[in-house]
Every structure is written in C-alpha cells, then in structure tokens.
C-alpha cells in the first residue's frame, strides 16, 4: 500500500498539478495585431492626404522668397537696356506665381518694348491690366496706351490709316477708362506722374485722329506750301461720309476725355 505522504509528493511533482500564477499568461489578446495595422494604415492615409497641402505651402513660400530677386533682375536689365534679360526675368517671375501675377506680364512687356516689338508688348500689357488691382493699375495703363500709340504711328507711316485710327481709338478709350486716382496728386497710383502721362497721351491721340480724317490738316509740298488733297472719286463719297461721321464721334469722345481729365479727381473714386 502506497504511503499517503509519498502520494502527496508525487502529486506535487505532477505537471497536471501545477497552476500558473494569476496574470502570468503572456498569450496575446486576439485581434491586437489587426488593431495595430489599422492604426498604421490611418497614419499613412493622413500623411498622404496632408502631403499636397504641405507641398503647395512649400512651393508658395519658395516663390515668395524668389519673387523679389526676379523682380530686381528685371528692373536692372530694363535700366541697362537689356531686352532679352528683361524678358527672361519677367518670364521667371510668372513660373508658379500665384500672387501679383500681373508683374510678370508687365516686365515681359517692358522687355518687348526694348526689342521694338510693340505688338507683343501690347499683348503683355493688356494681360497685366486684366490682372492688376485697380489701385496699382495706372502705371500699367500708361504703358499700354503708349504702346497702342506706337502701333498706330507705325500703321500710319505704312499708309494703313484705317488700322492706325483703330489703334489711336483704343488708346483714347484706355485713357478714358482710367480710375480717377490716376490723376490725384497725392495718390499712390500717380506717384510717378502717371496722370500727366495719360493726359499728354490723350491729347496726342486726339490730335492724330483729327489730323488723319477728312477736314484735318493738309500736307505740304517741297516749298512748304499747303497742298489740298485731290477730290475723291464719286464712288468713294459714301465711305468718306461714313469716315467723317466716325471722326466726329471720336472727336466728341476726345472732348469728353479732356473734360474728365480737367476735373479735380475725387479721392478713392471708382473707375468708370
């Protein structure tokens, strides 16, 4: 017969008799790996969603830092009469430029003026005028008006009077649409004499339109005597009559422009 004491010792040594201490179970909780993977997935998704905004912010910050440098290069090239350098600097200002976009077109237009390419300059100045805030528009408007005047003079010299009149009329209209603060003595929009430049251009354009129309100033021969143009053929009378009516309308418009320019501008007035 087995000794009870020996039996107890045997039971104590048996594996089945041993128990694990409370809390010593190291078995992983079911589903924990999947929760960790889901958390990692959410973090990656948030990073991917934020990446475009971070990239755009970085690009804008870099562009804001580079704009003064490009603007300085454009101004220096223009003052030196370097047409190609002015155009290149102006074009670099337009790359990824989300602020003050008009400055790129304005600088490129200046470069084309130096090249003598007034047609290309006109396009750039027109784009700049569309983008520039009204309170900064007068300088751009002056350049556009002067460019239109140059284009009209070139057409007039080439004998294309109709095209010349069209450019002169566009120039007069651009002056007429100028904000009143372009002419205010203390306006930031007139700090470089933009108002005087527009007034002078308006007068020249009006004179050129008047002189080129029937009834305007006649030419002179080699002795300095006035030469009246030969009477036009009867077949052209209707066209001339129509041209005369248009000329009168332009003169009336010019008189309105002069009246407007001679008025004392009201501070902070709105554009026409």
Contact 212, 164 (CB under 8 A): yes
Provide the pLDDT for residue 217. Answer: 54
- Phi and psi at residue 220, to the nearest 5°: -130, 150
DSSP 210-228: HHHSTTS--EE-TTS-EEP
pLDDT in tens, 130-160: 999 999 999 999 999 999 999 999 999 999 9
- Is the torsion defined by CA of 177, 180, 185, 191 positive or negative? negative
Provide the pLDDT for residue 214. Answer: 67
Provide the pLDDT for residue 190. Answer: 94
Stretches in the chain below the pLDDT threshold 70 = 1-32, 51, 53-70, 96-98, 214-272
What's the topology of domain 51-132? 1.25.40
What pTM was computed for the model? 0.59
Residues 6+ apart with CB under 8 A from 127: 102, 105
Instruction: Name residue 89's beta-bridge partners.
Output: none
Provide the pLDDT for residue 272. Answer: 25
Provide the total of helices (H) and of strands (E) in the chain, helices listed first.
9, 2
Q: Is 178 exposed, middle or buried (0-12, 13-18, 19+ CB in 10 A)?
A: buried
């Amino acid at each position: 017969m087995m000794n009870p004491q020996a039996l107890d010792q045997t039971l104590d040594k048996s594996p089945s008799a041993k128990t694990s201490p409370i809390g010593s179970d190291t078995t992983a909780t079911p589903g924990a790996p999947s929760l960790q993977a889901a958390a990692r997935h959410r973090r990656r998704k948030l990073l991917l969603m934020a990446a475009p905004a971070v990239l755009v912010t970085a690009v804008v910050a870099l562009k804001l830092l580079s704009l003064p440098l490009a603007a300085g290069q454009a101004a220096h090239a223009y003052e030196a009469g370097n047409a190609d350098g002015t155009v290149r600097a102006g074009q670099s200002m337009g790359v990824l430029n989300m602020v003050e976009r008009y400055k790129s077109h304005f600088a490129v237009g200046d470069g084309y003026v130096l090249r003598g390419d007034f047609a290309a300059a006109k396009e750039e100045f027109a784009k700049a005028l569309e983008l520039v805030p009204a309170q900064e528009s007068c300088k751009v408007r002056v350049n556009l008006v002067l460019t239109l005047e140059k284009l009209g003079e070139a057409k007039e010299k080439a004998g294309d009077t109709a095209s010349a009149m069209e450019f002169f009329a566009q120039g007069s209209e651009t002056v007429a649409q100028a904000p009143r603060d372009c002419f205010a003595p203390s306006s930031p929009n007139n700090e470089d004499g933009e108002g005087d430049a527009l007034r002078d251009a308006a007068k020249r354009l009006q004179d050129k339109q008047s002189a080129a129309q029937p009834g305007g100033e006649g030419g002179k021969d080699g002795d300095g005597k006035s030469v009246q143009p030969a009477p036009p053929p009867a077949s052209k009378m209707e066209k001339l009559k129509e041209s005369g009516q248009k000329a009168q309308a332009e003169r009336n418009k010019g008189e309105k422009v002069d009246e407007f320019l001679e008025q004392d501008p009201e501070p902070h007035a709105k554009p026409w």
